Amino acid sequence: MIKQLFEKGNIGHKITRNRFVAQPMEGNCADKGGSVSQLTINKYKNLAEGNWGIIIVEALSVTPTSLARKNALVLNEKNLDGFKKLVNEIKLINPEALILFQITHSGSISNPNFSEQVAISPLSEGRLLSTDEIEKIKEGFVKCARLAEEAGADGIDYKSCHGYLGAEILRPMNIRNDKWGGSWENRTRFLREGIEEISANRKRNDFLIGCRISMYEGMRGCEGTSAPEELIEDLSEQIALLQLLNKLKMDYVNISAGIPAKTPTLTRPVQSAALMYLHHLRYTQFAKQTLSNTNMKVIGSAYSILREDAFKVAEEMLSKHYTDFVGWGRQTLADPLMPKKLEYGESINFCTACSGCSKMMIKQINVGCIMFDEHYKRYWKENL
């Protein structure tokens, strides 16, 4: 019996219609300069039709010069009207949906074929950013949060996961010798000062602030380890990170793991490694336990691999208070109407974990479901 998923939830000063979260999935389909395209509008209108409680708009770059995707969305003044239209189109269909903008910088995973690859740490790939350049990037995050609020979004996700700059700067392998690296205090400065400035500058007290983190990235010296040369999982710093998020009075944390470009099955379990989803459940429960007796909410991930079994697992996680919200990523591409269909007993197109969307991302073409979306079925065949 599916009950918990359809109960209203609360996050910050906002109420959600249910506990379903549409996770940020990069569509690589922006128009020139990273502006909102009709494909972008169509994608999110479909999600709005699906009655998701929270819709997170994908990885909006704070800069047009360092991008992981050739057609990534860029949030700036020039593109602001398009984002206003996007929010309006979603709200017209699903006025109860909470819309979060995920703001990001691609850092060392920026693609050098069409943008500049830059790095936080001398141990990472790309040109090493200067102290002042990182300061300007932080200012870019603050500015984009203000633009997100101006566009009508209900909040932002300060992206700190999946190998992007926000995650790279937190890693033990960030051995910079300036104010942005080395010590824990320095490695958290980018997040800490950025969030403090966003909180101070927001015009609405109910404008939500949170971030997505990778609890363990599965690589030496990365998030979830204890030192630059360590590989074994150690969540001591992640406990400190969660406590910092709470101290900053953030409204939520979205729990993930891995780096899609380096440890993909940890981030997105596939059929041959389906049990990797258990790590996500463990990390989510761990975060919820760490944040017990706080007002911060926790969003869990990696449910797409479970197909129809995801609902009973989600119900268990919610009923045991191991999470507050449940997020689907690839499933939002396979069937953006899933929550609505589930509620009304209609047949759902479940993600087959074929990795078609990932292959499209690697090829730097528009991303969609090649199994169930007729447009992307044709598009994929044309681009083979």
Name the domain count of the chain.
1
pLDDT at 116: 98
pLDDT greater than 90 at residue 135: yes
Distances (CA, A) of 382 to 205, 211, 357, 358, 360: 48, 37, 15, 17, 12
CA distance 60 to 186: 25
For the segment 222-243, the average pLDDT, to the nearest whole number, is 98
pLDDT greater than 90 at residue 1: no
pLDDT greater than 90 at residue 101: yes
For the segment 39-62, the average pLDDT, to the nearest whole number, is 98
pLDDT greater than 90 at residue 141: yes
CA distance 164 to 155: 20
CA distance 161 to 213: 4
Distances (CA, A) of 47 to 20, 279, 296, 340: 11, 27, 25, 10
Tokens, residue 118: 């830059």
Does this model's pTM top 0.85? My answer is yes
CATH number of the domain that 52 lies in? 3.20.20.70
For residue 183, the enclosing domain spans: 4-382
In percent, the amount of the chain with pLDDT more than 70 equals: 100
